[in-house]
């Protein structure tokens, strides 16, 4: 438990709540990497997200916690789920948010990321939520911005709010994360979801297994503190959580896999493979999923699938992160 | 006009000399080296204590960007940077626009270098037309125009047949073939393939891409009996291949850059684009192997791979930034600090790596203070303190990861063809070298 316990998290403006107090337990004004979060900060985000979930149940799903705060969603890559989730979270907290979608092609001939960011900065936003295809772009942005920066996915590097919502979902289903066997399966090499989840789950004491074709296991995996295998049955055996990663359909081109058909035969999550896991296993996927490629439809639609919980929790977790970052009076 | 440099430590491995003595320069050549030389009519300079007189340093791998990319560097700014870094000569790679694959471009480079009047410039011609790897460039024409070597540099010679023919053909004109060794099929990354790149989500450049081509080149050089020089070696497997070639008496030589014997991929942690170059910063075991190679003689030369880029070009996402860092103004101080002060190599061995060997490998004048050699001298100040500061650099470009580093050792003065072209104000007593310039009518020492 962090500096706050669940009962003491006040959502400002809520009738009957303890007097509204803008405070934060996050040490940085940015969220760039899960690796920057201490264990107590992760707990604080989870506990705050619990409080945020309650807002969804109300007839009027809106609180004034971020009233008067300007948040720019700067997306250099197409995104439906993440952008929508951030946007809903921002609106529920009464922030003034706007979406800037930069097409990939204009990036090549047009303004640089940093010039775009400086121009946005001139309009004094409080937060910039950045999705970018280049690993590290949010770090570079944070180094020149007064606004707080949230990494909404950078290349193959990290996707911190995805990992936080995954961890929150696991905690909701399992009560705790410490000691669970969690298997992450699929295209590990190109996955920012994998990298952020690895940092989060290890920090919270899970036993992490990773599984994928040898061509898609990152070099140096032995230093990641995981058990790596190319046999899905080994990874699934006795697992509490199986987290499937998306494989892009064009991976045949770099000789990573021969065909999607063969990929499904060897690495696809089928009902038979799920049966090796614990009876109460939960199956996760960050979306968008390829049915019949990394996951059988029977599994995706099965009783152990928590994918829609992940999406629902995404809003609450992003509300928590935005509130804890943008609600920090010391930085404003 | 005669100048007598009196009473300094003179280190000249080509003459097996490391002793306190005098050097007498007559105009553009060395007239005599020895003790108690007569001073009739010569301007006498008492070499300040702590300064070491060496044959001029030669950087056999730089990019001067002219013609075509003058916003990054020009021949004038690049050669001014060279003398400020202690280099009296540089060999410049052909990846200009247009590529230096014909006499006209070579002549332009030499004319601009002459006009600049700073460091000597030895152009390197292209192996293939436009460095496209399809058809040999005209080596005889390039040689006649003044090229000392051929290389396709950043576009490594992929085709083994072209490589074989180029080696055979170049050797008949006494032209060295220099290869940037990287298997093109294994390219596409931006950082050394390994734990750091994996953790940072950066696409990897595997070390074996270098090793494979070094093995190929050594094997081909053995087949045809022609010399090959491996540019900027960076991984231990590639060095092993070079050693193995030397053991078999194959004429293979190699160079290493200061950044590859000092830095590792740990530098990438904040996505600093000034830590992005090709070959990339490797892991610690590779860096240590480079130091071992410098010490045991399997590495022949230190070269900078000076790769100036405009500030705007580096102020982008890591994936999009161009490869390369500057090196001319940091290499000597870095080498004195990390190699000599840390007892990796002796001062004499450092002079071999920076002067004697580059001259021999390229087949150019210099690399020695023997009588009749060009009066190209690098005066070192091994005990001076150097603070790297991009704001005071002569190069147009500022892309170095060493900005702000404090180093033990520096350059006191640089003399090219008997002309004092650089004097380091930060070195105590070095101002005596400036007085030489003042004593020569029409010459200024700046």
Distance from CA of B390 to the nearest CA of A (A): 20
pLDDT score recorded for residue A16: 42
Same-domain check for residues B146 and B243: yes
**Of the candidates A154, A158, A218, which has its C-beta nearest B198's C-beta?**
A218
Q: CB of B318 within 8 Å of any CB in chain A?
A: yes
Half-sphere exposure of B84 (CA within 13 A, CB side): 21
**Of the candidates A132, A133, A157, which has its C-beta nearest B200's C-beta?**
A157
**Chain B hits for A140, Cβ within 8 Å:** 271, 317-318
Spatial distance between the Cα atoms of A171 and B228, rounded to a whole number of angstroms: 61
Q: Which residue has the higher pLDDT, A129 or B437?
A: A129
Same-domain check for residues B11 and B77: no
* Domain boundary, last residue among B327, B344, B362: B362
Where b means 16+ CB within 10 Å and e means fewer, B143-153 reads bebbbbbbbbb
Using 50, 70 and 90 to split pLDDT, how confident is the model at B437? low
In a domain? residue B64:
yes
Q: Read off the tokens for A184.
A: 């992450």
pLDDT over 70 at A21, yes or no: no
In a domain? residue B443:
no
Distance from CA of B201 to the nearest CA of A (A): 4
pLDDT over 60 at A4, yes or no: no
Distance from CA of B203 to the nearest CA of A (A): 8
Are B318 and A140 an interchain contact pair (Cβ–Cβ within 8 Å)? yes
Spatial distance between the Cα atoms of B307 and B397, rounded to a whole number of angstroms: 9
Same-domain check for residues B63 and B48: no
Q: Is the dihedral of CA B362, B368, B374, B380 positive or negative?
A: positive
Is the Cβ–Cβ distance between B93 and B62 less than 8 Å? yes
Residue of A nearest to B268 (CA): A136
In a domain? residue B430:
yes
Spatial distance between the Cα atoms of B24 and B39, rounded to a whole number of angstroms: 9
* pLDDT digits 0-9 by tens, A132-163: 999 999 999 999 889 999 999 999 999 999 99
pLDDT score recorded for residue A2: 34
Contacts of A104 (CB under 8 A, 6+ apart): A76, A77, A133
In a domain? residue B424:
yes
In a domain? residue B446:
no
* pLDDT digits 0-9 by tens, A92-123: 999 999 998 886 545 555 788 888 888 888 99
* pLDDT digits 0-9 by tens, B375-429: 999 999 999 999 999 999 999 999 999 999 999 999 999 999 999 999 999 999 9
A45-59, A101-115, B128-142: least confident range: A101-115
Interface probe with A: pick from B190, B316, B317, most Cβ of A within 10 Å: B317
Give the single-character DSSP code of A281.
Answer: -
**Of the candidates B198, B316, B319, which has its C-beta nearest A155's C-beta?**
B319
In a domain? residue B153:
yes
* pLDDT digits 0-9 by tens, B311-328: 999 999 999 999 999 999
pLDDT score recorded for residue B327: 98
Q: CB of B173 within 8 Å of any CB in chain A?
A: no
Distance from CA of B286 to the nearest CA of A (A): 15
Integer-rounded Cα radius of gyration of chain B: 21
pLDDT score recorded for residue B204: 97
The span from the first CA to the last CA of chain B, in angstroms, equals 19
**Chain A hits for B271, Cβ within 8 Å:** 135-136, 139-140
Q: CB of A113 within 8 Å of any CB in chain B?
A: yes
Q: CB of A132 within 8 Å of any CB in chain B?
A: yes
Residue range A260-289: average pLDDT? 96
pLDDT score recorded for residue A254: 85
Walk across the sheet containing B252-256 and list its strands: B57-62, B87-92, B120-125, B149-150, B176-179, B228-230, B252-256, B301-302
Are B320 and A134 an interchain contact pair (Cβ–Cβ within 8 Å)? yes
**Of the candidates A135, A189, A220, which has its C-beta nearest B194's C-beta?**
A220
* pLDDT digits 0-9 by tens, B36-79: 988 788 899 999 999 999 999 999 999 999 999 999 999 999 99
Residue of B nearest to A189 (CA): B198
pLDDT score recorded for residue A17: 43
State the pairing for strand pair B52-55/B2-12: parallel
Same-domain check for residues B46 and B89: no
Phi first, then psi: give them for residue B282, nearest 5 degrees. -100, -170
Contacts of A190 (CB under 8 A, 6+ apart): A156, A216, A248
Residue range B347-374: average pLDDT? 97
**Chain A hits for B197, Cβ within 8 Å:** 219-220
pLDDT score recorded for residue B155: 87
Q: What CATH number does residue B25 fall under?
A: 2.30.40.10
C-alpha torsion angle, residues B158, B161, B167, B170 (rounded to 10): -100
Q: What CATH number does residue B229 fall under?
A: 3.20.20.140
Q: What is the mean pLDDT of chain A?
A: 89
Using 50, 70 and 90 to split pLDDT, how confident is the model at A5? very low
Q: Read off the tokens for B200.
A: 């940072």
- Report B:296-315 residues touching A (Cβ under 8 A): 312, 315
Active site residue B305: yes
Same-domain check for residues B351 and B409: no
**Chain B hits for A157, Cβ within 8 Å:** 200-202
**Of the candidates A113, A156, A192, which has its C-beta nearest B317's C-beta?**
A113
Are A192 and B201 an interchain contact pair (Cβ–Cβ within 8 Å)? yes
C-alpha torsion angle, residues A321, A323, A329, A330 (rounded to 10): 0
Spatial distance between the Cα atoms of B264 and B242, rounded to a whole number of angstroms: 21
Spatial distance between the Cα atoms of B136 and B142, rounded to a whole number of angstroms: 12
State the pairing for strand pair B52-55/B252-256: unpaired
* Domain boundary, last residue among B362, B385, B416: B362
Where b means 16+ CB within 10 Å and e means fewer, A19-48 reads eeeeebbbebbbbbbbebbeeebbbbbbbb
Are B316 and A113 an interchain contact pair (Cβ–Cβ within 8 Å)? yes
Same-domain check for residues B324 and B423: no
In a domain? residue B135:
yes
pLDDT score recorded for residue A3: 31
Same-domain check for residues B348 and B405: no
Are B194 and A219 an interchain contact pair (Cβ–Cβ within 8 Å)? yes
Q: CB of A155 within 8 Å of any CB in chain B?
A: yes
Q: What angle is formed at CA A133 by the lines to CA B306 and CA A244, rounded to 5 degrees? A: 125
**Chain B hits for A112, Cβ within 8 Å:** 312, 315-316
Are B202 and A136 an interchain contact pair (Cβ–Cβ within 8 Å)? yes
Are A136 and B320 an interchain contact pair (Cβ–Cβ within 8 Å)? no
Q: How many domains does chain B have?
A: 2
Q: Which domain holds residue B427?
A: 2-53+372-436
pLDDT score recorded for residue B444: 41
**Of the candidates B193, B194, B318, which has its C-beta nearest A135's C-beta?**
B318
Same-domain check for residues B402 and B339: no
* Domain boundary, last residue among B362, B383, B413: B362
Same-domain check for residues B203 and B190: yes
Interface probe with B: pick from A134, A245, A254, most Cβ of B within 10 Å: A134
Same-domain check for residues B224 and B108: yes
pLDDT score recorded for residue A109: 58
Task: Determine which one of B305, B383, B403, B425 is catalytic.
Answer: B305
**Of the candidates A140, A155, A219, which has its C-beta nearest B201's C-beta?**
A155
B105 strand-pairing partners: none
Distance from CA of B24 to the nearest CA of A (A): 54
pLDDT over 50 at A253, yes or no: yes
Q: Read off the tokens for B222.
A: 């053995």
| Helical H segments across B303-374, by residue range | 311-314, 331-335, 347-351, 357-362
Q: CB of A156 within 8 Å of any CB in chain B?
A: yes
Q: Read off the tokens for B209.
A: 């891409």
Are B204 and A219 an interchain contact pair (Cβ–Cβ within 8 Å)? yes
Same-domain check for residues B377 and B341: no
Half-sphere exposure of A181 (CA within 13 A, CB side): 16
Q: What is the mean pLDDT of chain B?
A: 95
Same-domain check for residues B154 and B234: yes
Interface probe with B: pick from A102, A135, A226, most Cβ of B within 10 Å: A135
pLDDT over 70 at A19, yes or no: no
Q: Record the pTM.
A: 0.92
Spatial distance between the Cα atoms of B240 and A244, rounded to a whole number of angstroms: 42
In a domain? residue B155:
yes
pLDDT over 70 at A7, yes or no: no
Half-sphere exposure of B199 (CA within 13 A, CB side): 18
Integer-rounded Cα radius of gyration of chain A: 20
């Amino acid at each position: 438990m962090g500096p706050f316990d669940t009962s003491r998290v006040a959502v400002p403006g809520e009738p009957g709540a303890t007097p509204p107090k803008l405070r934060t337990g996050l040490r940085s004004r940015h969220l760039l990497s899960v690796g920057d979060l201490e264990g107590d900060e992760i707990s604080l985000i989870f506990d705050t997200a619990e409080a945020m979930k309650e807002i969804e149940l109300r007839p009027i799903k809106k609180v004034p916690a971020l009233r008067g705060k300007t948040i720019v969603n700067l997306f250099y890559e197409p995104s439906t789920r993440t952008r929508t989730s951030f946007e809903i979270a921002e609106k529920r907290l009464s922030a003034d948010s706007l979406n800037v979608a930069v097409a990939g092609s204009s990036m090549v001939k047009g303004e640089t990321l940093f010039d775009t960011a400086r121009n946005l900065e001139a309009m004094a936003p409080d937060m910039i939520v950045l999705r970018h295809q280049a690993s590290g772009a949010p770090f570079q942005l944070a180094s020149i911005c007064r606004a707080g920066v949230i990494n909404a996915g950078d290349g193959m590097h990290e996707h911190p709010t995805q990992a936080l919502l995954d961890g929150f979902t696991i905690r909701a289903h399992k009560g705790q994360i410490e000691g669970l066997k969690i298997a992450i399966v699929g295209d590990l090499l190109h996955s920012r979801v994998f990298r952020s989840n690895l940092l989060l789950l290890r920090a919270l004491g899970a036993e992490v297994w990773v599984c994928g074709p040898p061509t898609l296991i990152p070099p140096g995996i032995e230093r990641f503190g995981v058990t790596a295998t190319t046999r899905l049955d080994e990874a699934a055996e006795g697992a509490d959580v199986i987290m499937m990663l998306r494989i892009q359909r064009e991976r045949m081109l770099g000789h990573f896999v021969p065909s999607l058909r063969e990929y499904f035969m060897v690495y696809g999550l089928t009902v038979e493979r799920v049966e090796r896991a614990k009876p109460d296993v939960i199956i996760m996927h960050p979306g968008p999923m390829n049915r019949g490629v990394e996951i059988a439809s029977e599994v995706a639609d099965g009783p152990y699938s928590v994918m829609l919980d992940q999406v629902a929790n995404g809003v609450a977790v992003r509300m928590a992160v935005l509130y804890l970052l943008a609600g920090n009076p010391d930085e404003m | 006009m005669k100048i007598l440099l009196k009473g300094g430590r003179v280190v000249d491995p080509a003459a097996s000399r490391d002793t306190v003595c005098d050097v007498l320069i007559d105009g553009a050549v060395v007239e005599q080296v020895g003790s108690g030389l007569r001073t009739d009519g010569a301007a006498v300079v008492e070499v300040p204590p702590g300064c070491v007189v060496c044959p001029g340093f030669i950087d056999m791998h730089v990019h001067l960007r002219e013609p075509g990319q003058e916003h990054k560097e020009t021949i004038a700014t690049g050669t001014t940077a060279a003398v400020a870094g202690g280099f009296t000569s540089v060999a410049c790679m052909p990846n200009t626009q247009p590529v230096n694959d014909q006499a006209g471009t070579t002549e332009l480079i030499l004319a601009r270098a002459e006009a600049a009047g700073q460091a000597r410039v030895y152009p390197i011609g292209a192996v293939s037309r436009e460095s496209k790897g399809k058809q040999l460039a005209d080596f005889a024409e390039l040689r006649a125009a003044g090229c000392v070597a051929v290389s396709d540099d950043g576009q490594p010679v992929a085709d083994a047949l072209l490589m074989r023919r180029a080696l055979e053909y170049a050797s008949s004109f006494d032209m060295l073939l220099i290869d940037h060794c990287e298997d093109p099929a294994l390219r596409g990354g931006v950082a050394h393939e390994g734990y750091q790149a994996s953790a940072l989500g950066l696409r990897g450049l595997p070390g074996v891409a270098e090793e494979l081509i070094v093995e190929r080149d050594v094997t081909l050089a053995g087949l045809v009996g022609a010399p090959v020089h491996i540019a900027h070696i960076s991984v231990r497997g590639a060095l092993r291949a070079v050693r193995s070639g030397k053991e078999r008496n194959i004429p293979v030589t190699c160079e290493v850059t200061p950044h590859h014997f000092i830095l590792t991929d740990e530098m990438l942690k904040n996505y600093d684009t000034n830590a992005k170059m090709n070959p990339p910063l490797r892991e610690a075991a590779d860096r240590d192997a480079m130091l071992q190679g410098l010490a045991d003689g399997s590495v022949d030369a230190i070269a900078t791979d000076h790769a100036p880029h405009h500030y705007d070009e580096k102020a982008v996402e890591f994936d999009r930034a161009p490869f390369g860092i500057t090196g001319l103004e940091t290499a000597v101080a870095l080498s004195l600090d990390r190699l000599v002060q840390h007892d990796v190599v002796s001062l004499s061995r450092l002079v071999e790596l920076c002067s004697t060997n580059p001259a021999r490998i390229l087949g150019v004048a210099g690399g020695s203070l023997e009588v009749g050699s060009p009066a190209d001298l690098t005066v070192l100040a091994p005990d001076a303190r150097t603070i790297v500061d991009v704001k005071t650099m002569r190069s147009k470009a500022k892309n170095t990861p060493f900005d702000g580093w404090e180093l033990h050792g520096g350059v006191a003065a640089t003399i090219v063809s008997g002309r004092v072209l650089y004097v380091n104000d930060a070195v105590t007593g070095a101002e005596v070298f400036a007085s030489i310039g003042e004593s020569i009518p029409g010459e200024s020492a700046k």
